[in-house]
Amino acid sequence: MLVCASTLVFSHIEKRSFFDSIYWAIAALSTVGSRDVVPHTTVGKLLLIFDAVSGISIYVYLIVSWQASIIEERVRRKISKETHFVELRNQQATAPANMPKHIELKINRGLYYVEQLREGIRVLGDRIRQVIRDIANLRP
């Protein structure tokens, strides 16, 4: 859609052919650039700036979305493992009578750290989703 709008505006402002305009729009949005077709008017140059920034923003959005999905999957797997561990621990809620107290304390401390880690991962996931929403709202 941005390519179509840039093509039409560039064609009209710079009085270029449709082919030259679409070639320029794709080169500008992909941030490759081209010396073959260049804007000569101030409005054309502003359109070039807008298209280049938009192209970079689109690439950043795609990369961040991809990274967030990878991180979210890793977090989901981590939480799944931790949840399984906690469920196993809850099934064995009563420690055997002959278990030394210091081992039981270490197990409880480990469970506490797992719960803290789980909460930290949840907060991190929420923050990543917020950053993605913020980036998505920056789209022109």
Mean pLDDT, range 72-85, rounded to an integer: 75
- Asked whether the beta carbons of 37 and 16 are under 8 A apart, the reply is yes
Check whether 38 has a pLDDT greater than 60: yes
Give kind and range of the element (H or E) at residue 14: helix 2-14
List C-alpha distances in Å: 44 to 1, 10, 37, 55, 123.
18, 6, 11, 16, 45
Residue 41 carries which DSSP code? S
Give me the CATH code for the 2-137 domain, please: 1.10.287.70
Is 86:114 a contact under the CB 8 Å cutoff? yes
Domain ranges of the chain: 2-137
Q: Looking up tokens 């991962």, which residue turns up?
A: 121
At residue 96 the predicted structure's pLDDT band, cuts being 50, 70 and 90, is low
Amino acid at 38: V
pLDDT of residue 123 exceeding 60 = yes
Sorted by sequence, the CB contacts under 8 Å of residue 82 that are 6+ apart come out as 114, 117, 118
Q: What is the pTM assigned to this prediction?
A: 0.49
Q: Report residue 140's pLDDT band, with 50, 70 and 90 as the boundaries.
A: low
